[in-house]
């Protein structure tokens, strides 16, 4: 096996591992008894939690990229557009009551009263709402600063790895050489 093939195997393994880590936590739970279309989207993250999510993703990416041959030390900056968005199941109860009234002159009037009640659906025996879907935040961009990025081949490998791992287009990933300290 040539050096290039070995590098591609290592890079592919890293890409697969990071994809599993990043997307493996995404959940999709079916809500029993919830009517189709009765969902409520709620973005639940404060700026502090978004920062924590960015930092966790940066740490994982940094650990993996530093394993690549020739890369050396790496610093990562990731910018997320928002926090995680959850869609919850709703229980919807609609009551419709129609009443007909006849006045003394023989005129008939009809009164229709409709009441609607929306509640987040909770799993039986729990007060936690049923999550239909969890949507990960969109990544605005990634900056990779690496010691080995002065080498065009290493820079290209870093660019390709980040793009593949995070499913980003070229214009959202910047790889730069680390300044000598």
| Residue ranges of domains in the chain, CATH in brackets | 3-177 (3.30.300.30)
35 or 176, higher pLDDT? 176
Rounded percentage of the chain residues whose pLDDT exceeds 70: 70
pLDDT of residue 161 exceeding 80: yes
pTM over 0.85: no
pLDDT at site 72: 93
User: Per residue in 44-78, pLDDT tens?
Assistant: 455 677 788 788 889 999 999 999 999 999 999 98
pLDDT at site 15: 58
- Residue 44 · residue 136 · CB < 8 Å: no
How far is residue 42's CA from residue 24's CA, in Å, rounded to a whole number?
A: 21
pLDDT of residue 151 exceeding 90: yes
34 or 48, higher pLDDT? 48
pLDDT at site 9: 57
- Residue 116 · residue 93 · CB < 8 Å: yes
SS3 content of the chain, % helix, strand, coil (to 5): 35, 35, 30
């Amino acid at each position: 096996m040539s050096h290039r093939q070995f590098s591609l195997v290592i890079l592919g393994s890293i890409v697969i591992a990071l994809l599993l880590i990043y997307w493996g936590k995404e959940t999709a739970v079916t809500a029993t008894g919830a009517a189709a279309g009765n969902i409520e989207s709620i973005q639940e993250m404060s700026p502090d939690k978004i920062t924590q999510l960015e930092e966790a993703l940066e740490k994982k990416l940094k650990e993996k990229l530093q394993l690549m041959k020739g890369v050396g030390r790496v610093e990562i900056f990731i910018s997320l557009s928002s926090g995680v968005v959850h869609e919850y199941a709703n229980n919807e109860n609609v009551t419709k009551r129609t009443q007909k009234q006849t006045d003394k002159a023989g005129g008939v009037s009809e009164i229709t009263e409709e009441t609607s009640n929306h509640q987040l659906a909770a799993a039986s025996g729990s007060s936690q709402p049923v999550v239909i879907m969890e949507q990960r935040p969109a990544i605005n961009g990634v900056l990779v600063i690496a010691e080995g990025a002065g080498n065009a081949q290493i820079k290209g490998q870093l660019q390709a790895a980040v793009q593949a791992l995070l499913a980003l287009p070229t214009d959202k990933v910047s790889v730069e050489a680390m300044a000598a300290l």
